[in-house]
Structure 1
Amino acid sequence: MSRNSDVENDFFAEIDETVGNYTASAVRQALQKVETMKLDELPPEHRCGLLRRHAEYLYMMSNYQQMKEARVEMLEEAYKKARQGHVMDPKDYECAKILCSTCGRLAEESSLKKKLDLGFKFKTYLDEAMAINDRDFELCHMRGRFCFTVASLSFVERCAARVLGQIPDVSFKDALDDLLRADHLEEGVAENQLFIGKTYLAMGDLVNAKKWLVKTASNKSDVAVEQEHVDEAAALLEEKKLKQIKI
């Protein structure tokens, strides 16, 4: 998940090895190791690396939380760590990326006012990260998802958003372009497949919507958040207008 310098990788080798293939138990062990390290006792050049890893592992563990309260608590802590690391080193790409991830997910889990506030911050962080690398699956997915969310705002939500700042001029077509680009970079990701299907659905293209939702629903996962995407796709496929479509 992380691609930093050889010097940093050597310094955090034990923790990175603990993470292994990113199973829940492995990430939990790595998180415990990170939590025992004191930031102010590390060499300055490794402090951002520690904060970034701390944020990553909290974010990943939040995906396994079925209770929203526990999930949000982990995301809030992950967001704080990532933001601290980003302030420390704005050019650290991996830290910028996890900051986008935590901010975006936290926005989705929040009430309208906080969702809008975090949404504007997310767009700023996303622009900064994509200025470093615009060919990353996660960033393309996040930008597509952001465009979908903005294009889906109701009149009331748009009015509330305008109080906080200028709403980006984006469309479902913009969302689809980024989501399909993300799929080209990394195929078979249920979350991305779901939003491609939902975007086609919003655009009135029921045939392509059903194709992508069927792909999503065929996935299986023991990760709570990922399974929610699969379940959402299956629920959408039960809608009358989609059940009538043959593919």
Structure 2
Amino acid sequence: MSSKSDVEQDFFVEIDDTVGDYSARSVSAALRKVENLKVDDLPAEHRCGLLRRHAEYLYMMSNYETMKEKRVEMLETAYKKARQGHVMNPNDFECAKVLCSTCGRLAEESSLKKKLDYGFKFKTYLDEAIAISDQDFELCHMRGRFCYTVASLSFVERCAAKVIGQIPDVSYKMALDDLLKADRLEQGVAENQLFIGKTYMALGDMVNAKKWLVKTASNTTEVPLEQEYVDEAAALLEEKKFKSIKI
């Protein structure tokens, strides 16, 4: 008997094949196919799968968008699609991951009020996803990045956050544990390498910080968002505090 995932893959095989190598061109083509389908016209068991793909492809395409306003607009649409799918099937792991990804990115890209609102929602979604599986690169990276971000909040941001809800009790050490675990699960990811370097900086370990920033800066990519991580690492390495440090 076929499993649920096999049945879903068979149903979406044409769209999944279109995604191919996940280049901007192939993802854009798959996105157009998804947008031509209506959720209500599909069998109930495939509706979450469609919404998840719609959200995932929008998220991927946002990585190629250089205008922040347009990027946030795409992420907001992706978030709505992923949330709709998550409500339909809270146990769908892939949909839960995309919901975390879109919500987490919106927490970083939005203004302070929305940033805090999305941040609290993100923590809820992340806990739900990790309850399904805690051995996933993306989830470990997102939790580590979340811990780093919360630990880095300014006094003003903390005051604003307390109006919305209870700030999680996290630390840079917790962030580092998750980010290093993510690297063990999948190495060579510039985004994760950058945050490992920045976390070591926050902990005052400048030798390890430089090691990871050098790794980040050595990456080559054609994806604009990933290039931003590479450029940020390169810019940090130009700071005076790193010049005398040998690795």
Residue type matched to 2:137 in 1? F
Aligned residue in 2 for 1:131 = 131
1:115-168 alpha-carbon deviations (Å, 9 max, x no partner):
001000000000000000000000000000000000000111111101100000
Q: How does 1:158-197 map to 2 (within 5 A)?
A: 158-197=158-197
Provide the residue aligned with 2:75 in structure 1: 75
Superposed counterparts of 1:1-247, under 5 Å = 5-247=5-247
Superposition deviation, residue 175 in structure 1: 0.1
Q: Distance in 1 between matches of 2:232 and 2:221?
A: 13
Moved more, 50-59 or 3-12: 3-12
Partners of 1:97 and 1:195 lie apart in 2 by: 19
Alignment CA distance shift 1:176-1:232 (3 Å): same
Deviations 1:157-195 (A, max 9, x none): 111101100000000000000000000000000000000
d(CA) in 1 for partners of 2:172, 2:107? 20
How many Å separate the matches in 1 of 2:172 and 2:5? 38
Deviations 1:170-224 (A, max 9, x none): 0000000000000000000000000000000010000000000000000011101
Q: Which amino acid aligns with 1:200?
A: Y
C-alpha displacement of 1:4: 6.7
User: Take 1:6 and 1:131, find their aligned partners in 2: how far apart are those partners?
Assistant: 23
**Which amino acid counterpart does residue 168 of structure 2 have in structure 1?**
P
What letter corresponds to residue 230 of structure 1 in structure 2?
A: V
- In 2: Cα distance, 1:120 partner to 1:69 partner: 22
User: Paired residues, what number?
Assistant: 245
TM-score, length of structure 1 as denominator length: 0.98
CA distance in 2, matches of 1:4, 1:100: 22
Residue identity matched to 2:126: L
**4+ residue runs of structure 1 moved beyond 2 angstroms?**
none
Cα deviation code 1:50-81 (max 9, x no counterpart): 00000000000000001101101100000000
Residues 19 and 225 of structure 1, relative CA distance in 2, 3 Å threshold: same
Distance in 2 of aligned mates of 1:74 and 1:4? 29
Q: Distance in 2 between matches of 1:109 and 1:88?
A: 27
Give per-residue Cα distances to partners, 1:203-247, cap 9 Å, x unaligned. 000000000000000001110110000000000001100111111
> How far apart in 2 are the matches of 1:25 and 1:207?
40
Structure 1 letter corresponding to 2:171: S
Distance in 1 between residues matched to 2:172 and 2:242, nearest whole Å: 19
Q: Which whole-Å CA distance do the structure 2 matches of 1:240 and 1:28 have between them?
A: 42
Give the secondary-structure state (helix, strand or coil) at the position aligned to 1:5.
helix
Unaligned stretches of 5+ residues in structure 2: none
* Structure 1: distance between partners of 2:142 and 2:184: 14
